[in-house]
Amino acid sequence: MIHFITLSIFPQIFESPLNYSIIKRAKDKGLVKFSHYNIRDFTTNKHKNVDDAIYGGGAGQLMTPQPIFDAVKYIKQEYGDIKLIFFTPKGRRLTTNLVKEFAYLPDNNITKRFILLSGRYEGIDNRIREYLVDEEVSIGDYILSGGEFASLIFIDTVTRYIEGALGNKESLKDESFNDSLLEYPQYTRPANFRGMKVPEILLNGNHKKIKEWQIQKQIEITKKVRRDLLGEI
Ligand code: ADE
């Protein structure tokens, strides 16, 4: 099982999204577990502040070290030493390979835990990175208003790669990024929807021809929108 422990000033963000579909089922099957901690609950400051101005100037505020250090200490006292992941655009890009590494469990009886730290404001005091953070992860080259959405994406994608989390119908086999190619187009009934037709080749039951068509489409689509996946820039 993987136990995802989130650390954020908005723990309520995590409530709804983790209660549906594949993640909900994985939770019910005991493959994942969640705990959400509010950083603000750990502040010793009488105004309950968790942020402060930046030394040397600069716009905005940074998250202060005290509540985060104390929250992490509390969590580690509870569960032992755990890898802490901080979500930031400055981190390693989250890819299928990295997701598989995080999702890997040598044995189904082992509980693997992650603390997922979400920043807000302009970021966090650098001492948190230096002394607490084990790994920095980015979900893409854009700036989010906070790390909570990155944490949710991390949880969602890592959960899908835990053995037993997907049913046959949702198999990982034919998805985009396998073989570094994007997925081919797919259609369902009806074969003719208001004059818009499903490609003939998919209707004739020739599996070899269908497979060739699918691969050709994968290459076409990947060349068009993601040449970088083919090793071309
Ligand atoms: N926090 C803000 N932007 C982010 C990004 N692109 N990835 C991960 N965490 C972030």
Domains (ranges, CATH) in the chain? Answer: 2-169 (3.40.1280.10), 174-232 (1.10.1270.20)
Does residue 85's CB lie within 6 angstroms of at least one atom of ligand 1?
Answer: no
The confidence score (pLDDT) of residue 145 equals 95
Nearest CA to ligand 1 atom 7: 138
Q: In terms of Cα–Cα distance, which of 226, 4, 232, 228 is closest to 115?
A: 4
SS3 for 180-225, per residue? Answer: HCCCCCCCCCCCEECCEECCHHHHCCCHHHHHHHHHHHHHHHHHHH
The CA-CA-CA angle for residues 131, 156, 176, to 5°, reads: 115
Average pLDDT over residues 16-35: 97
For residue 135, what are the CA distances in angstroms to 60, 78, 116?
A: 25, 21, 10
Q: What is the pLDDT of residue 169?
A: 73
24 alpha carbon to ligand 1 midpoint, in Å? 25
Q: What is the pLDDT of residue 141?
A: 97
24: three-class secondary structure by DSSP: helix
Q: Is 122 in the pocket of ligand 1 (CB under 6 A)?
A: no
Ligand 1 in reach of 135 Cβ (< 6 A): no
State pTM to two decimals: 0.95
pLDDT band at 175 (very low <50, low <70, confident <90, very high): confident
Residue 135 C-alpha to ligand 1 middle, in angstroms? Answer: 13
Q: Which of 9, 13, 88, 124 to mutate to test the pocket of ligand 1 (most atoms within 8 A of CB)?
A: 88
Structure confidence by residue, pLDDT tens digits, 104-158: 999 889 999 999 999 988 999 999 999 999 999 999 999 999 999 999 999 999 9
pLDDT at 213: 98
Looking at residue 168, its pLDDT comes to 79
Q: What is the pLDDT of residue 119?
A: 95
